[in-house]
Structure 1
Amino acid sequence: MVSHTLNSAYNPYENRNVEVPMSNVGAFVSLLKCVIGTGILALPLAFAYTGWLNGGILLILITILLIHGITLLIICMVESARRQEQGYCNFPDTMVYAFNQGPNWCRYCARASGFLVDGVLAFSHYGVCVVYIVFVSVNIKQLSDYYIKVMDLWIFILFVGMLSIPLFLIRHLKYLVPFNLAANIVMYLGFVLIFYYLFQNLPALSEREAFSEPSKLPLFFGIALFSVSSVGVMLAIESKMAHPEKYIGWFGVLNLASVVVVISYLIFAIMGYWRYGETVHGSVTLDLPNDEMCPRPSSAWPSSSRIRCPAM
């Protein structure tokens, strides 16, 4: 059993040593970018499973439960660091310490619990990163197939993966803030372009179900949890902040970013379901018109193969 003399006056925040700390604004920008991903494109389908009103209520409740759980976890990590008089105690070490404070059978599982946390975080992030790389590769392939020539998908996956390696080698999150800010701008610009189509030819809202049959709720939860949850990233950002005590709380960075995320998700999901209804695809981008591609720049192509750009 690990025993430490408890010192209630010890403040882990004051003794945390971060080599390259992030500001609160940098943490907000990074959190916004890391949480909002390709899952938002599938939320209209999730709302088709539950109805627009039911889906909105459930999405808000899921986010509240997630943020509440993350807040409790961070409080436990800070308390573990305080009891051990450390500046910072990560998730696996907190798990090991907590098991060592329990009954005998828990102490035998202490080291295994730490390895379990590392394994779950590693595999979950690996799975998420693979999805993003494949998603980006598929979109680039669609443009390449039309403007250049048809090539295998694995070529684009290799290309995107190789370009991502330099970013993966950046160890300090502060240096990624400019990239995250640029990504947020481009991402919301993309949302605006998608909204251009979502707001056209809208049917009456009464044609869309507010509540759907509960048998499809598991499908909704699968998509919603994939879209919202990002536990490892949320913890990593908190650990690299210059003022980590500002991360949680009613008006902390985590809550403020979560509000922006939920609002973005609700607008995107409701509008996507409202526009396309039950026929919406797994990614709402698949429902966008594909006959408005700009003509190929080469004059060698026959005029019959050219597709006119939409008049702006």
Structure 2
Amino acid sequence: MCEMSLLHHGDSEARLFLEHSTTNLQTLMHLLKANTGPGFLGMAYTVMNAGILLGPIALVIIGIICTHSMKILADSSHALCRRNGKMFLDYGDVTHEAMRLSSAKWFNSYGSVGRAVVNTFLVFIQLGFCSAYFIFIASNVQQAYHNFHKNNTPAIQVFMVIFAVFIILYCYIRNLDNLAICSTFANIIVVVGVIIIYQYLIHGIAEKRTDVSSLPLARNISNLPLFWGPAIYAFESIGIVLPVENKMKHPHDFKKVLYTSMSIVTTAFVTFGTLGYLCFGPGVLDTITLNLPEDQGLYISLKILFSMVMFVNYGLQFYVIIQITWPCVQEYVPENYRVFGEYVIRTTLVLITLVFAASIPHLGLFISLVGSFAGSGLTLIFPPIIEELTFYNGYRETTSRLRLTKNVLIVVFGILGFIFGTFASIYLCQLCMSMTHFSILGDIFDVALLIIGSSGVL
């Protein structure tokens, strides 16, 4: 059977013979792992910024929309693969092909621009994810260390530098399927850890007899941007949807795997955030692990174990960065030095995430900025546009009109979150930067704030 016939049948058979292809279970493990990062453990802080009623409802709505965006992105990829005879495409390539092959002729010449924009957002959000993992690991280990050395605890940046050495070595793993066993191990830790935290939260709520009426049903509108960024950030698997789907032996099972994983994730987010806020009230911190007792061995161990989970997550999110950046660089590297050159690029990118993390060591603010800016674009703005470019065939069909209306609403929703969430996050990050010694990055935030403020959108 020729390759085109295999592709026409959905490329499942063709992928069976690919090296390093993954099973449905491995794909499920990767998707679950990608969504159980600092955003998940910060759900209580996220709900606090929206209110005890509005927070959970908004999380369900955002979860449904994000899942739909992932699904239509994969559907567009499949359709475009059939049109151009390719086995798979990444996010940037999907954007390029959607514009190049669109029936809306005006877009046909701008495919390269679209790919560059999407890839820039992807690199930013993945670097942001990895930087947040640095902050999470360092802050939790620092707190555990402080319990034993109260009078001599180094700054959080010191812990970041120490862990950077191990993260660099871990990121030298080059194939996604080699990370599957790590993802499975990390998922086991997450399940056990989350059960322990759930038990602590339920017991804490019963002990404290929290007065729900004392918690606001909905916070002031000024708090909503700080809900929006972390909420979008928490559903952080948009960047790995296509890389993971592209590695599947049976890609047409992806929708089933996606719905299963995102149903689990959304349910966990809502319950975890609600119980955490009920337990700790307005005193809840950026990540709930920091609210756990500092002097009990079980919870100290739990913080270390969750730090190990974020260590594993780093490698999975880093895979997307390498997929985008290395192909752009390798053509300029002599063939005999390409393996060495790839390791240099991997090391450099890890160090970049270290610098960002050390510059803004405030997890909640960092997550809010990354989610509002890159998360809104990649999850809510670009996928509906790509779907329209891929499937648009005029207004005559009812299905086309309904799809266009749905996509316009999602894009407008995403743009509003992008503008207000990014502005609020940059403003708060600029205040945070003014209290650190990283003046160059502080100046960058000043310029960004000035540009947004002078653009007239606010």
- TM-score, scaled to structure 1: 0.83
- Cα shift readout 1:148-196 (whole Å, capped 9, x = no counterpart): 6533433321222221223322232222121111111212322233334
Q: Which amino acid aligns with 1:281?
A: L
- Which of 163, 167, 175 does residue 166 from structure 2 map onto? 163
- SS of the residue corresponding to residue 109 of structure 1 reads helix
Q: Which residue of 1 aligns with 2:192?
A: 189
Matched, 1:288 2:292: yes
Q: Which residue of 1 aligns with 2:178?
A: 175
Q: Taking structure 1 as reference, are residues 293 and 97 closer, same or farther at Cα in structure 2, changes over 3 Å only?
A: closer
- Cα shift readout 1:18-49 (whole Å, capped 9, x = no counterpart): 31111111111111111111112222122122
Matched, 1:209 2:216: yes
- Cα shift readout 1:210-241 (whole Å, capped 9, x = no counterpart): 34444432221111111113211122211111
- C-alpha distance in 2, partners of 1:137/1:45? 19
Q: Does the CA-based 8 Å contact 2:34-2:236 persist in structure 1? A: no
- Cα shift readout 1:96-118 (whole Å, capped 9, x = no counterpart): 22222345542332212112222
Q: Which residue of 1 aligns with 2:351?
A: none
Q: Taking structure 1 as reference, are residues 28 and 145 closer, same or farther at Cα in structure 2, changes over 3 Å only?
A: same
- Which of 214, 218, 240 does residue 247 from structure 2 map onto? 240
What's the C-alpha RMSD, in Å, of the aligned pairs?
Answer: 2.5
- For 1:59-98, list aligned pairs within 5 A: 59-98=59-98
Q: Taking structure 1 as reference, are residues 12 and 88 closer, same or farther at Cα in structure 2, changes over 3 Å only?
A: farther
Structure 1 position 285, deviation (Å): 2.8
- C-alpha distance in 2, partners of 1:293/1:101? 59
- C-alpha distance in 2, partners of 1:18/1:56? 42
Q: Does the CA-based 8 Å contact 1:66-1:229 persist in structure 2? A: no
Structure 1: 5+ residue stretches without partners: 1-5, 295-312
- SS of the residue corresponding to residue 150 of structure 1 reads coil
- C-alpha distance in 2, partners of 1:293/1:173? 34
Q: Does the CA-based 8 Å contact 1:29-1:181 persist in structure 2? A: yes
The count of corresponding residues between Structure 1 and Structure 2 is 286
Q: Which residue of 2 aligns with 1:13?
A: 11
Q: Which residue of 2 aligns with 1:229?
A: 236
Percent of pairs with identical residues = 26
Q: Which amino acid aligns with 2:270?
A: L
Higher helix share: 2
Structure 1 position 273, deviation (Å): 0.8
Q: Taking structure 1 as reference, are residues 147 and 278 closer, same or farther at Cα in structure 2, changes over 3 Å only?
A: closer
Q: Does the CA-based 8 Å contact 1:18-1:241 persist in structure 2? A: no
- C-alpha distance in 2, partners of 1:159/1:198? 32
Structure 1 position 74, deviation (Å): 0.8
Q: Which amino acid aligns with 2:143?
A: Q
- SS of the residue corresponding to residue 247 of structure 1 reads helix
State which drifts further: 234-243 or 185-194. 185-194
Q: Does the CA-based 8 Å contact 2:50-2:223 persist in structure 1? A: yes
Q: Does the CA-based 8 Å contact 1:12-1:88 persist in structure 2? A: no
- SS of the residue corresponding to residue 182 of structure 1 reads helix
- C-alpha distance in 2, partners of 1:281/1:156? 20
Q: Does the CA-based 8 Å contact 1:100-1:110 persist in structure 2? A: yes
Q: Does the CA-based 8 Å contact 2:140-2:290 persist in structure 1? A: no
- TM-score, scaled to structure 2: 0.58
Q: Taking structure 1 as reference, are residues 143 and 211 closer, same or farther at Cα in structure 2, changes over 3 Å only?
A: closer
Q: Which residue of 1 aligns with 2:120?
A: 119
State which drifts further: 148-157 or 229-238. 148-157
- C-alpha distance in 2, partners of 1:211/1:134? 29
- C-alpha distance in 2, partners of 1:152/1:46? 26
Q: Taking structure 1 as reference, are residues 264 and 108 closer, same or farther at Cα in structure 2, changes over 3 Å only?
A: same
- Cα shift readout 1:35-84 (whole Å, capped 9, x = no counterpart): 11111222212212222232111111101111111111111111111001
Q: Does the CA-based 8 Å contact 2:45-2:277 persist in structure 1? A: yes
Q: Does the CA-based 8 Å contact 1:11-1:82 persist in structure 2? A: no
Matched, 1:268 2:269: no
Q: Does the CA-based 8 Å contact 1:272-1:284 persist in structure 2? A: yes
Matched, 1:259 2:258: no
Q: Does the CA-based 8 Å contact 1:12-1:81 persist in structure 2? A: no
Q: Taking structure 1 as reference, are residues 278 and 71 closer, same or farther at Cα in structure 2, changes over 3 Å only?
A: same
- C-alpha distance in 1, partners of 2:160/2:219? 38
- Name which one, 1 or 2, has greater alpha-carbon Rg: 1
- C-alpha distance in 2, partners of 1:223/1:69? 18
